Structure 1
Amino acid sequence: LRQDPDIIMIGEIRDQETASIAVQASITGHLVVSTLHTNSAASTITRLVDMGIEPYLIADSTVGVIAQRLVRRLCPDCKRAKKADAEDLEMLMRKPEEDLTIYEPCGCAKCDGTGFRGRIGVYEIMEVTPQLKHIISKGGEVEAIKAQALKDGMHTLRMSATELVLDGTTSVQEMMRVSFDL
């Protein structure tokens, strides 16, 4: 911090000391980018509170949170189309009467029989709006934070993964593996 950098990258926030330094750097005008192991963007806020950071400091120092997961990409050479059944439609948060075509892995020589080739990111991007700052500063629980973030336009990991299933990029099973919300 003595060199007055514009941007600071912290490999991972693992403890209260690192979290405090990150928050103080952010409050004093530095852009701080870091990682933190949580299940969602909203739970990042409560994780920082659990580390001993005051909610008002988190609200003042945070501009956004991104949660990410990797899903396996279906092999374009062998993926197999199928009509989504009732269980698939439920997992995709679609109406039972919808007629959807989704894809599932098959396996070929190009993907070594796995049905998958490569990976693609699934993202949950939570912008910390003035309304969200208010909830955070009052010590709001993860569900209240998530509810406001959704009102503000956040797409959950499940929503983002669903888009990848619907466009044939990945499978329902991969979507379920990386998304925790219903």
Structure 2
Amino acid sequence: MSQETLDLIISKVNNALDEEVLVVKPPETDEEAEGEKEEKEEIEETAKLNFGKPMIILDSEKWSMDLAKMLRDDPQLHFDFLQCVTGVDYDEHMEVVYNLYSTEKKHYLYVKVKTPRETPSVVSVTPVWRAADYMEREIFDLLGIEFPGHWNLKRILLQDEWEGHPLRKDYITDKKALGLD
């Protein structure tokens, strides 16, 4: 069932974007597994099952309000419930991860949206899923990822005067001033 859902999602997203953005890595043959095959170009897998649930990976310029609306409104997908939004800081990029669920169809989808570390920005989905409101603000506050289109993007956990974003890997703390020395 999950593989069928993933195949449907791949088809719908690629059609919505008018290009083949989502790619599934072909299974290895026995020869490839044994290492007898010649070196071949490594394909970045952007759609797969993650712990048995469909997951897609998009660059931030591919993630849009229209795509989010399609995931919510398409009668075959109907991802009407945004369970969680979280931000992740990697050394080479940052990600925003959306956990979506269809209460009608009973299926899940993880959407990972990659954004550059230098200017992290991912379009806000608060007009599509109101539950994203505080979660996007928390990610903005702690990681510094901007959410263009958010109706009230400001700090939610830290004081307005706080400098920097404490969950970023490059954040420098003064442990002595914070009493952590």
The question of a shared fold, defined as TM-score above 0.5 by the shorter chain, is answered with: no
Higher relative contact order (CA 8 A, sep 6+): 1
Which structure has the greater CA radius of gyration? 1
TM-score (norm 1): 0.29
TM-score w.r.t. length of structure 2: 0.29
